[in-house]
Amino acid sequence: MRCLRCGVCCRETDMLLSTEDITRLEKKGFSKEFFARFDKAGYALLRNRQGHCVFYNIEMRRCNVYAERPSGCRVYPVIFDEDKGIVVDDICHAQETVTEQEKLRKGKKVVKLLKRIDREAEQKSSK
């Protein structure tokens, strides 16, 4: 895909985080309290600040942790839609540049990631 760096995907994000994502960002010196919030079901999500992901640099139009970005950001704009399954997010301005092959490849990663995140949230909520 050809990212346009528009920041639409980083606006008011509800990006889920895996334990691996959290650990990777903490190793870079960020506190979990800075970048993550937890919902009642035990899911970790990226925090927003001034309407964007805490790691999105509005002026530079780029991610400040691109090399360490969460797994969900790595596979974006391929997402799971509860009604349609694996799709390319229609808010992405570069959606037309995602090939069917890329959608299938990233779609497999999305499914695995969501299963892992569901397991982790279930473990947290059962404690």
In a domain, 20, yes or no: yes
Domain count, the chain: 1
Supply the pLDDT for residue 39: 94
Q: What is the pTM of this model?
A: 0.92
**49-65 per-position pLDDT tens digit:** 999 999 999 999 999 99
In a domain, 52, yes or no: yes
In a domain, 3, yes or no: no
In a domain, 23, yes or no: yes
Q: Is the pLDDT of residue 3 over 90?
A: no
The range of the structural domain enclosing residue 14 comes to 8-125
**50-108 per-position pLDDT tens digit:** 999 999 999 999 999 999 999 999 999 999 999 999 999 999 999 999 999 999 999 99
Non-local (6+) Cβ contacts of 114 within 8 A are 16, 80
CA atoms of 115 and 118, how far apart (whole Å): 5
Confidence of residue 126 (pLDDT cuts 50, 70, 90): confident
More confidently predicted of 2 and 114:
114
In a domain, 1, yes or no: no
In a domain, 56, yes or no: yes
CB atoms within 10 A of CB 75: 20
In a domain, 22, yes or no: yes
CB atoms within 10 A of CB 26: 15
Tokens of 41: 């079901």
Which residue reads 């008011």 in tokens?
12
**13-27 per-position pLDDT tens digit:** 999 999 999 999 999
CA atoms of 7 and 16, how far apart (whole Å): 17
